[in-house]
Amino acid sequence: MTLVALAAAIERGDLSPREAVEDALDRIERRDAAYNSFITVRAEEALAEADALPAKTGPLHGVPIGVKDVIDVAGTLTTAASKVLADNVATADATVVMRLRRAGAVIVGKLNTHEFAWGASTTSEAFGPARNPWDTERICGGSSGGSGAAVAAGLVPGALGTDTAGSVRIPAALCGVTGIRPTTGRVPNRGVIPVSWTYDTVGPLARTAEDCALLLDVIAGPDPTDPSTTPSMAEPCLDGIERGVDGLRVGVVSHLLDDVPLDPRVGTAVEEAIGELASLGATVERVDARFLRRAEVVQQLVMLPEAAEAHLPWLRTRLADYGADVRARLLAGLLLPSSAPVTGQRARRALAHEARPLFERYDVLAAPEMPIVAPRIGEDPVEVGGERIAYRLSLIPFNSPWSCLGVPTVSVPCGLVGGLPVGLALTGRRLGEATVLRVAHAFQQATDWHERRPPDAV
Amino acid sequence: MEPESSLVPSLDELRALARAQGVEPTDADLEGVLGFLRTVLPSLRELEEATQRDVPPAGMYLPDPEAT
């Protein structure tokens, strides 16, 4: 059942919040040993909170939700899947959790993540890998891999992840669910462990674009206590999601289909999905945007020093407790020249200026979300269109441009290759979440890829 | 363009820089950093040369609110 359908069923009285939460906890208990998607399950707390809900709260009344384990839930561990924070109990709710609760949601647990949300495989040395429900020998992507797995397996109808360089979109694609990275600054980050202050954003993952729209409407908006939020008011996402794509202009980012390593079967699935948008009434054109490849290095120059700064107290005292990959990136950020983040931010502004005509001409840009389907756990390098490439490097061209520009991107399931999901990335203007979700919804109304389920999903 | 070797610091220089910030990486850690720097420093230098220095860096939280 989708999140929207579950919320409607609870509203009709078909089941109570307690029953909805009990169902989710039962699914987690029976199935999650296979996926390792949860780090902490809040069984007793969630049931008590469901029982304590007033008769009417908000649009998520009684809906069980999981949140990535870098997002604080008061009284619950926030481990970031790291030895460094293995005993860290949050003292207050993150703003997004407060907003979920105000809307009636019940937080059933904390979801597995790549250590400190910095990596794309969710294979924490301390907490073990999250496993892809489509094939448990494969990764879920990351860093919000537990969020992707839990939604794909049907353990929860919706989850929150975070996205710095693709961490919502990548697991959405590899797990066959829908996930949106919102505009940087649209969703408050207070109470969320940072990777990179100027790139981080919280984003929802769920079965459908409609589900994500509902979740995003709940968690988005300025927070006067959080200077990372933009004061700009954006259009709500759920209202108007049915308006279709007729008359919209879709630019196909051609270099991401033609000029970078890509599994041709993934490319074919994405091309067919774009063809579907054309058949629904969108005007589709290929666009040369190779200048966006500069984002790949620009993001590294900014993100690495920002992360090193955020981690500096722990680097001084807990260096050996980090996993090898995250430790290496943090040290690289620490030891980059001081000119790196300034040059990076300057180049980032220039890139945004250069991208402006793209977003004036097109309502949405379309591209593959990932160049490959989910690799096996531990498989690195990976084979991409006949080349052997480091997994992390293979995905950067598809994700860094949109992170660097701070614009919204949704990944929607658009095919299966060898029985594994493929994601279509739809990117919009700054604060244009309503439009990208509207296009994603139109696609999902016309196709059934989002309804395909992993073999043992519940 | 300067040769790559003149851009990349030595292991000892990196160790001293880390220690100055209160961090004690292992030699293996620093070898990894060196590998990364060999890749990224030439790109950084290219960007420095390609970017107009009178352009202010992007804002703290948004790349450029008016640009996209």
Written as six digits, the tokens of A148 are 């992707």
For residue A64, what are the β-bridge partners?
A106
CA distance A322 to A331: 11
In a domain, A400, yes or no: yes
- Does pLDDT of A234 surpass 90? no
The C-alpha atoms of residue A58 and residue A105 are separated, in whole angstroms, by: 8
In the predicted structure, residue B2 carries a pLDDT above the cut 60: no
Asked whether residue A257 is assigned to any structural domain, the reply reads: yes
Q: What is the mean pLDDT of residues A326-347?
A: 95
Please give the sequence-ordered ranges of beta strands (E in DSSP) within A5-95, or none if there are none: 38-41, 64-68
- The CA-to-CA distance between both ends of chain B, in Å, stands at 33
pLDDT per residue as tens digits for the range A138-172: 999 999 999 999 999 999 999 999 999 999 999 99
Chain B hits for A198, CB-CB cut-off 8 Å, are 58, 60-63
Question: Three-state DSSP class for A158?
Answer: strand
What's residue A225's pLDDT? Answer: 87
Stretch A166-180: mean pLDDT: 98
Q: A377 or A233, which is more confident?
A: A377
Query: Chain A 313-332, CB below 8 Å of chain B: which residues?
Result: 315-316, 319, 327-328, 331-332
Q: Is the pLDDT of residue A262 over 80?
A: yes
Q: What type of residue sits at position A223?
A: D
pLDDT at A321 over 60: yes
- Judge whether residue A284 has pLDDT over 70: yes
- Residue A377 sits in a domain whose CATH number is 3.90.1300.10
Is residue A163 domain-resident? yes
pLDDT at A231: 80
| CB of A28 closer than 8 Å to CB of A36 | no
- Please count the structural domains in chain A: 1
Using one digit for the tens of pLDDT, what is the confidence trace for A81-134?
999 999 999 999 999 999 999 999 999 999 999 999 999 999 999 999 999 999
Cβ-nearest to B25 among A319, A336, A350: A319
A56 and chain B: CB distance < 8 Å anywhere? no
* Phi/psi-derived region of residue A113, left when phi > 0, alpha when psi is between -120 and 50, beta in every other case: beta
Per-residue model confidence as pLDDT tens digits over A2-28: 999 999 999 999 999 999 999 999 999
Residue A458 belongs to a domain: no
Report whether pLDDT(A259) > 80. Answer: yes
B64 band by pLDDT with thresholds 50, 70 and 90: low
**Residue A373's domain spans which residues?**
3-451
- pLDDT on residue B55: 75
- Are the beta carbons of B48 and A331 separated by less than 8 Å? no
The residue whose two tokens read 């999250």 is: A130
Q: What angle do CA A363, A367, A372 make, to 5 degrees?
A: 160
Give the containing element (helix H, strand E) for B8: none
Instruction: Quickly state the pLDDT bin for B66 (edges 50, 70, 90).
Output: low
CB-CB contact of A120 with A112 (8 Å): no
Known catalytic residue at A167: yes
Pick from A110, A139, A109, A108: nearest CA to A124 = A139
Max Cα separation, chain A?
A: 60
Interchain CB distance below 8 Å, B62 and A339: no
Q: By mean pLDDT, which of A195-204, A226-235, A250-259 is the weakest?
A: A226-235
pLDDT at B60 over 90: no
Contacts of A429 in chain B (CB under 8 A): 68
Q: Which of A315, A335, A348 sits opposite B58 (nearest CB)?
A: A348
pLDDT at B51 over 90: no
- Does residue A395 register a pLDDT over 90? yes
Q: What average pLDDT does range A372-381 have in this prediction?
A: 98
Angle value at C-alpha A129, between A127 and A131, nearest 5 degrees: 135
**Residue A138 in 3-state DSSP?**
strand
* Within a domain: A377: yes
Each residue of A401-442: pLDDT tens digit? 999 999 999 999 999 999 999 999 999 999 999 999 999 999
The per-residue pLDDT for A271 is 98
| Per-window interface: A 391-420 vs B, CB < 8 A | 404-407
Residue whose pair of structure tokens reads 């207050």 in the numeric block: A92
- Cα radius of gyration rounded to whole Å, chain A: 20
CA gap A444, A449 in Å, rounded: 7
A233 pLDDT higher than 90: no
User: Residue written as tokens 């005993």?
Assistant: A87
Q: How does strand A364-368 pair with strand A283-287?
A: unpaired
What is the rounded average pLDDT of the residues A269-289?
Answer: 98
Nearest residue of B to residue A294, measured between CA atoms: B47
| Cβ within 8 Å of residue A416, ≥6 positions away | A176, A269, A422, A449, A452
Interface A–B counts its CB contacts (< 8 A) at 134
Q: Which residues of B touch A (CB under 8 A)?
A: 9, 14, 17-18, 21-25, 29-30, 32-33, 36-37, 40-41, 43-44, 47-48, 50-53, 55-58, 60-65, 67-68
Q: Mind listing the pLDDT tens digit for each residue in A40-77?
A: 999 999 999 999 999 989 999 999 999 999 999 999 99
Q: Which residues of B touch A430 (CB under 8 A)?
A: 62, 65, 67-68
Return the closest-CA partner of residue A208 out of A458, A446, A457.
A446
Catalytic residue among A37, A68, A144, A403: A68
pLDDT of residue A24: 98
Cβ-nearest to A346 among B33, B51, B65: B51
pLDDT at residue B8, rounded to an integer: 87
pLDDT confidence band for B6 (50 / 70 / 90): low
Which tokens belong to A289? 């945007």
Average model confidence (pLDDT) for chain A?
97
The full set of domain ranges for chain B reads 1-48
Which of A335, A389, A392, A405 is the best residue to mutate to test the B interface, defined by the most B CB atoms within 10 Å of its own CB? A335
Please compute the mean of the pLDDT values over residues A265-281 and round it to a whole number. Answer: 98
pTM for the model stands at 0.96
By three-state DSSP, how is residue A367 classified?
strand
CA-closest candidate to residue A262, choices A374, A402, A378, A386: A386
> What pLDDT was estimated at residue B7?
75
Q: Does residue A457 sit within a domain?
A: no
Q: Could you please report the per-residue DSSP string of A282-338?
A: -EEEEE--GGGGGHHHHHHHHHHHHHHHHHHHHHHHHGGGS-HHHHHHHHHHHHS-T
Task: Provide the token pair at A276.
Answer: 């579907």
Q: How many CA atoms lie within 13 A of A443 on its CB side?
A: 32
pLDDT of residue B38: 92
CA proximity to A458, closest of A11, A29, A10 = A29
What residues of chain A lie within 8 A of the CB of B62, using their CB?
184-185, 198, 230, 406, 430
Residue A417's DSSP bridge partners are A420
Q: Which of A37, A82, A143, A400 is catalytic?
A: A143
CA angle A149–A152–A155, rounded 5-degree value: 80
Q: Cα distance from A231 to chain B (closest Cα, Å)?
A: 11
